[in-house]
Amino acid sequence: MAPAQVDFVPLIPTIVVTVTALAVLLLGLWLRGEQGIWLAAVSIAGLVAALVFLLGLAGPAVSERRAAFDGMIVADNLSTFFGAVALVIAILTILLSEHVLLIERFSQGEYYALVLLTTVGMLVLTAATDLIVLILGLEILSISLYVLTGFARGRLGSEEAALKYFLLGAFALGFLVYGSALVYGATGTTTFGQIANVLRAPGASSPLLLIGLGLLLVGFGFKLSFVPFHMWTPDVYEGAPSAVTGFMAVGTKAAVFGSLLRILTEAFPALRAEWAAVLWLLAILTMILGNFAAIAQRNVKRMLAYSSIAQAGYIVLAVIAADPLGRAGVMFYVLAYTFMNLGAFAVVVAVADRGDVGTTLDHYVGLARRSPILALAMGVFMLSLAGVPPTAGFMAKLFVFTAAVRAGYVDLAIIGVLTSAVATFYYLRVIVAMYMSAPAEEPAPAPALRVPGPLLALLVIALVATFGLGIFPAVTGDLVGGTLALAK
């Protein structure tokens, strides 16, 4: 008996990143301290190679699907887009972390290997067209992140965050696995396409299936921190090392939103009314609570955590719309969010002292004097998160709101617009703090901040992208537009 349909080609980027991770893990045993720069270089080289393979894979015929392993894995526009975003996020994270590892004396090989393994999880997740592979990808992603969250060993906040994240994550995984089991029980298959086929028959919907779908949404809701599954987010974001928080915030969102979009449209198109109703409720709760809770925060990391909750609420709008405009909206928003949020965390990393001390608003007072470039960059990222033109955040919001309006969810768009008006307040507060003069009681002005090279590179990339996506969003049109072919 010949082995089942085996096609490794769609897996090449994943394999490349895995091998890089193993190599970095081993090299890390010998390369220490200042030599760690080579580990970063090897990691980035591996990620770039994977990116080349991924985009080469997409090649000229972007709209062609390539399924492998009996339809458990697929290479298509969706996986290419979100996979590419995941790889870019990983590259930027390495730029973000390089000097942190030295200052904090973290084990560099392990750190990079874990970042790479998280990326492997993202790649698997975005390419998964089968419930089992989906859970596999999600767990590779999550377990690596649990460890990264607790990477600052000996720092109580970090350990507590890791434990909380792990326990609640395991709890949420239970919902996901149980949901998958129920869906399997109801349809007799775990592959997305076949689930959709089964459901196409009239009367295929059953209580078992709906409960399964509900539990799956709970699992996704936890990972994307929708209200009311969001409560871990502020604690974990605050406790984790800032660089990891940035990685976690954008990386998880990119991969899990890609996966959510896929499973809802490829496996459950027949249940659109049901899942749209649930997401409708979650979106409203998420937008309102996320934004209002953010107002009360004094800690910038915590504020960004609530902001990320709120931003997830906006992306859901486009998921609910689920038409070509909605898909493009999800993609564009995720891309814009990647740059502006990772950029914001880069500033947080640069401002904080050793041990992530100094993340409250008070530490941002007078930042404009200590480092004009950091203050300027943070100002741009805040405005972009608030959705002020001509930044990427404005186009992203316009995109998802328009998609929601078009799909008939005017109520969601109105709530979105109103809550983002509320949001300007807390984003603006950071800018106000940065451009205020330092408190008078300080005898000597705080010393100027030095921005390390890789971090500066990251900031420049994020700034260019934030403006680029805002002023020339059509540039992404090819990638985004290509995926529109998937809409049928």
Partner 1 sequence: MPTAYLPLLVLQALAVGFTALILAVSFLLGPRRPESHRMVPYESGIRPVQDARRRFPVKFTLVAMLFIVFDVEAVFFYPWAVTYRQLKLFGLIEMLIFVAILLVGYVYIWKRGALEWE
Partner 2 sequence: MGDSVGLALLFPFLGFLFNALLSRAFPRGLSGIVASLAVGLSFVVALTTFLALSALPGSQQFHAVTLWTWLVAGDLNVRIGLLVDPLSSLMLLVVTGVGFLIHVYAIASMHGDPGERRFFAYLNLFVLAMLVLVLADNFVLLMAGWNGVGLSSYLLIAFWFERDEAARAGVKAFVVNAIGDVGLLLAAFLIFVSYRTLDYDQVFKAAGAGGAVLTAISLLLLLAAVAKSAQLPLYVWLPDAMAGPTPVSALIHAATMVTAGVYLIARTHPIYTQSPEALGIVATIGALTALFAATVGLVKPNIKRVLAYSTVSQLGYMFLGVGVGAFGAGLFHLTTHAFFKALLFLAAGGAIHALGGEEDMRKMGGLRARLPLVYWTFVVGALALAGFPLFSGFWSKDEIITATFAGPRANPTLGVVALVTALLTAFYIFRAVFLTFHGKPHHHLSLSEHFHAPGPVMTVPLVILAGFAVVAGYVQVLGGSFGHFLQPVFNRYGPHEVAVALNPGLLAASATLSVVGIVLAYVVYGGDQALARRLGYQFAWLHQLLLNDYYIEDLYRLVIVRPVLAVAGFVGETFDRVVVDGAVGGVVAMVRYSGAALTIVQTGNLRGYGLGILTGAVVILAYLSYLGGWGG
Kindly identify the residues of this chain, within the stretch 25-44, that bind partner 1 according to CB under 8 A: 25-26, 29
Question: Is residue 3 close enough to count as binding partner 1 by CB under 8 A?
Answer: yes
Torsion of CA 145, 147, 149, 152, to 10 degrees: -150
Count the residues of the shown chain that bind partner 2, applying the rule CB under 8 A: 77
Helices (H), 150-206: 156-187, 192-200
- Residues 12, 163, 449, 485: which binds partner 2 (CB under 8 A)? 163
From 54, 41, 251, select the one nearest 144 (Cα to Cα).
251
Looking at the DSSP bridge assignments, the partners of residue 360 are: 299
- Residues 50, 68, 172, 317: which binds partner 2 (CB under 8 A)? 172
Residue 26 contact among partner 2, partner 1, none, beta carbon within 5 to 8 Å by kind: partner 1
Between residues 15 and 449, which has the closer beta carbon with respect to partner 1?
Answer: 15
Both tokens of residue 320? Answer: 């609910």
- Residues 210, 449, 456, 485: which binds partner 2 (CB under 8 A)? 210
Count the residues of the shown chain that bind partner 1, applying the rule CB under 8 A: 7
Please state, in angstroms and rounded to a whole number, the distance separating the CA atoms of residues 411 and 374. Answer: 38
Site string for partner 2, 385-404 (x = CB under 8 A): ---xxx---xx--xx-xx--
User: What Å distances lie between residue 337 and 222, 386, 402, 477, CA to CA?
Assistant: 19, 11, 17, 17
Question: Is residue 22 close enough to count as binding partner 1 by CB under 8 A?
Answer: yes
Between residues 8 and 425, which has the closer beta carbon with respect to partner 1?
Answer: 8
Residue carrying structure tokens 């919902």: 175
Both tokens of residue 204? Answer: 């295929």
Between residues 22 and 296, which has the closer beta carbon with respect to partner 1?
Answer: 22
Please state, in angstroms and rounded to a whole number, the distance separating the CA atoms of residues 175 and 220. Answer: 9
CB of 125 to partner 1, least distance (A): 20
Task: Please give the single-letter amino acid code of residue 215.
Answer: L
Q: How far apart are the first and last CA of the chain?
A: 36
Contact of 110 with 144, CB cutoff 8 Å: no
Contact of 147 with 62, CB cutoff 8 Å: no
Residue 22 contact among partner 2, partner 1, none, beta carbon within 5 to 8 Å by kind: partner 1
Candidate ranges 19-27, 323-331, 362-370, 456-464; the one touching partner 1 (CB under 8 A): 19-27
Coil, strand or helix at 1 = coil
Q: Which of residues 417-446 bind partner 2 (CB under 8 A)?
A: 417-418, 421, 424-425, 428, 432, 435-437
Please state, in angstroms and rounded to a whole number, the distance separating the CA atoms of residues 341 and 173. Answer: 26
Q: Which of residues 59-118 bind partner 2 (CB under 8 A)?
A: none
Candidate ranges 90-98, 115-123, 186-194, 323-331; the one touching partner 2 (CB under 8 A): 323-331
CB of 25 to partner 1, least distance (A): 6
Candidate ranges 23-31, 222-230, 310-318, 368-376; the one touching partner 1 (CB under 8 A): 23-31
CB of 4 to partner 2, least distance (A): 35
Between residues 29 and 295, which has the closer beta carbon with respect to partner 1?
Answer: 29
Residue carrying structure tokens 């404009």: 368
Residue 132 contact among partner 2, partner 1, none, beta carbon within 5 to 8 Å by kind: none
Please state, in angstroms and rounded to a whole number, the distance separating the CA atoms of residues 83 and 483. Answer: 13
Question: Is residue 164 close enough to count as binding partner 2 by CB under 8 A?
Answer: yes
Residue 264 contact among partner 2, partner 1, none, beta carbon within 5 to 8 Å by kind: none
CB of 1 to partner 1, least distance (A): 5
Between residues 214 and 269, which has the closer beta carbon with respect to partner 2?
Answer: 214
Candidate ranges 22-30, 167-175, 216-224, 313-321; the one touching partner 1 (CB under 8 A): 22-30
Cβ neighbours of residue 396 closer than 8 Å, sequence gap 6 or more: 314, 329, 332, 333, 336, 337, 387, 469
Both tokens of residue 358? Answer: 């100094």
State the angle between helix axes of 324-351 and 242-262 in degrees (0 to 180), rounded to the nearest 10.
Answer: 170
Question: Is residue 167 close enough to count as binding partner 2 by CB under 8 A?
Answer: yes
Both tokens of residue 126? Answer: 């975005």
Question: Is residue 197 close enough to count as binding partner 2 by CB under 8 A?
Answer: no
Both tokens of residue 276? Answer: 């749209």
Please state, in angstroms and rounded to a whole number, the distance separating the CA atoms of residues 174 and 153. Answer: 27
Which chain residues interact with partner 1 by CB under 8 A? 1, 3, 6, 22, 25-26, 29
